[in-house]
Amino acid sequence: MSAAELALASGLALLFVQLPDAPYEETPPEIVERMLHLADLHPGDVVYDLGCGDGRIVIAAVRRPGVRGVCVELDPARLKWAREVAENAGVSSLIRFVQGDLFEVPIQDATVVTLYLLRPTNLRLRPRLLRELRPGTRVISLRFDMGNWEAERTEQVGDPPRTIYRWTIPEPRPVR
Ligand SMILES: C[S@@+](CC[C@H](N)C(=O)[O-])C[C@H]1O[C@@H](n2cnc3c(N)ncnc32)[C@H](O)[C@@H]1O
């Protein structure tokens, strides 16, 4: 293949590769614990981490009795890693691993959604969360807010301090 053909093939391949909506950065373990504390987990909860990276949030969540998790990740290599970490921790049977775009994967059965993305990604995701999640579902975001959807609780954690935000999906407004 000539250099020109190779450049064209690489360009075409790029057209079909979906770019992530947030870069990879791990949540430190002590912040994972604070996020899950703020989520107020109970038996029966189903925790979705949208953009789950190495799976650390759902892996920590399913260690609570009766909690199950769903790890949604665009990057197949990272999802494979998450599955291996969960297997080594003996909790993989409690987690569903989904390779895909967090804007496409069904989320209706979540009772808790955790996010560590970017503010523009949160803002794009917000209508979907409000439309598709059931009332009472808690949404927890590290570092990034949801614009004028005001958080019901916030907490400062770590050094340098980072903010954790919590929202609860409201009951639909009665139509008059
Ligand atoms: C900041 S990292 C957070 C990882 C993990 N949630 C944590 O807190 O340790 C963001 C993750 O979102 C993933 N991601 C970005 N855009 C995505 C998309 N559209 N669908 C699914 N995952 C995505 C990235 O690959 C990355 O692993």
- Identify which has the larger pLDDT, 15 or 62: 62
Q: 1-15, 38-52, 84-98, 154-168 — which is least confidently predicted?
A: 1-15
Res. 18: pLDDT tops 90: no
pLDDT band at 6 (very low <50, low <70, confident <90, very high): low
The verdict on the CB of residue 46 being under 6 Å from ligand 1 is no
User: Residue 9 domain-assigned?
Assistant: no
Residue 9 has what pLDDT?
56
Closest CA to 136 of 55, 46, 36: 46
Range of the domain at 120: 20-168
The verdict on the CB of residue 128 being under 6 Å from ligand 1 is no
The verdict on the CB of residue 78 being under 6 Å from ligand 1 is yes
| Number of the ligand 1 atom closest to the C-alpha atom of 18 | 19
CATH number at residue 29: 3.40.50.150
Q: How many CB atoms lie within 10 A of CB 106?
A: 12
Q: How far is the CA of 167 from the centre of ligand 1 (A)?
A: 20
User: Residue 13 domain-assigned?
Assistant: no
pLDDT band at 27 (very low <50, low <70, confident <90, very high): very high
Rounded distance, CA 44 to CA 148, Å? 31
The verdict on the CB of residue 49 being under 6 Å from ligand 1 is yes
What is the number of structural domains in the chain? 1
For a mutational test of ligand 1's pocket, the pick from 18, 24, 56, 103, i.e. the residue with the most ligand atoms closer than 8 A to its C-beta, is 24
Rounded distance, CA 40 to CA 5, Å? 55
Strands 68-73 and 153-157 come out as unpaired
| Average pLDDT over the chain, rounded to an integer | 93
User: Residue 4 domain-assigned?
Assistant: no
76-110 pLDDT, tens digit each: 999 999 999 999 999 999 999 999 999 999 999 99
Q: What is each CA distance from 59 to 129, 131, 165, in whole angstroms?
A: 22, 27, 20
Q: Which residues of 31-51 are buried (b: 16+ CB within 10 A; e: fewer)?
A: bbebbbebbebeeebbbbbbb
The verdict on the CB of residue 69 being under 6 Å from ligand 1 is no
User: Residue 163 domain-assigned?
Assistant: yes
Mean pLDDT of 120-131: 98
Q: Give CA torsion, residues 145, 146, 147, 148, to 10 deg.
A: -120
Q: How far is the CA of 110 from the centre of ligand 1 (A)?
A: 17
User: Residue 8 domain-assigned?
Assistant: no
Please name the residue whose Cα sits nearest to atom 6 of ligand 1: 52
The verdict on the CB of residue 58 being under 6 Å from ligand 1 is no
Rounded distance, CA 62 to CA 56, Å? 10
Closest CA to 164 of 146, 145, 147: 145
Tokens encoding 56: 């650390």
User: Residue 56 domain-assigned?
Assistant: yes
Rounded distance, CA 102 to CA 53, Å? 12
User: Residue 73 domain-assigned?
Assistant: yes
| Number of the ligand 1 atom closest to the C-alpha atom of 22 | 15
Q: Is the entire prediction scored with pTM above 0.75?
A: yes
pLDDT band at 172 (very low <50, low <70, confident <90, very high): confident
Q: What is each CA distance from 38 to 26, 31, 83, 102, 106, in whole angstroms?
A: 18, 10, 25, 22, 24
In the numeric block, the tokens 């987990």 are attached to 41
Res. 4: pLDDT tops 80: no
User: Residue 125 domain-assigned?
Assistant: yes
